[in-house]
Structure 1
């Protein structure tokens, strides 16, 4: 009951993913992305324990295809058919697997630097719309990932609708450049876009603050830039 996109930006070397689903807290269960090495998404009837294993293999230099094969063997023949997994490695190679026990419409599209996947989608056009949305969008990786989710939603999204979403982007640092989540919202993708619009001007602030803790509060930073923000 999920659709997602996993990608690498060739220009910046950033890795990121965006995801939407019906159940709550999808951002805590499925995405596993790290700087320099890539990442993976383990969704559908996913096992979050596969995420750290996949990251460890990517860190060891395994290719996306090799990581996927190792995860398949680790999970076993009975469990793997319930999973939907996407992997991207440090070079932007991708690999994906959609188990036979996933609900229709189910499937994935894997390309260099980008992979999309979904299960229990309303039609077979959603995945292609997501890929097109990502490839046609300009700008930073976070925007392109959101554009992919929006295209999937507009093409029909899930059979049961979507109420939870997440956006994660990693770059040079050990912590995420962007890590935003929406839960129990009738329009989680729209809300995710709104939150990113609020957060984007603050990214330089949050990058500076760890090494310069005397910086003014984020509210003062907003005022300095003339940006509205805070609770609605």
Structure 2
């Protein structure tokens, strides 16, 4: 219950401020430009499902960016505003604080995903794709956004400066999205398989992008999300004694 109260407070803070609107608007613009340029604007004819896959490829990346940019201030901002002490001395547990922050960020990531719906609707108008493919693709986007939100909350707990939290969170997101996949291609077995498994996009989102539900990917991303939230809770717990 306390986590929901914190989530409601933070979600209201996002919606009442201007920074969240600027971030979402800028990323929606970028998503739309790249979608029209590389998905709809391709010179060679392609099947509709291929265009939809390209849309989810872009939507996933911009959703992860949305999560990282929004969460970099989630806990670091409490320190900057001086409200961190109030949270520490309240009856709310560290886990409830962290989960509340994560739920608020997930609300904004979900809002971002909903605002992109007009793009796949263009594919429906110009071609033929299945509703199941659309739903599975968005499930993958939400899962990626959830993991990135947990990563952002963890970095925000780790660093009291929101810029530092954003930079480190962004670098870790880039590693899990791109660099891990590239390292796996240049690493010898069996380490290449281990590194490749940490690549969230290539290993765990591509099935959803193609319209296939991968339970192993759901378990992995859920576990990674829980790990980041537990680490953030532990950091908050240690700071209670500072």
Bin the TM-score by the shorter chain: under 0.3
Ranked by relative contact order (alpha carbons within 8 Å, sequence separation 6 or more), the top structure is: 2
Query: Scaled by the length of structure 2, what TM-score is found?
Result: 0.27
Query: Scaled by the length of structure 1, what TM-score is found?
Result: 0.28
Larger Rg: 2
| Structure with the higher fraction of residues in strand conformation | 1
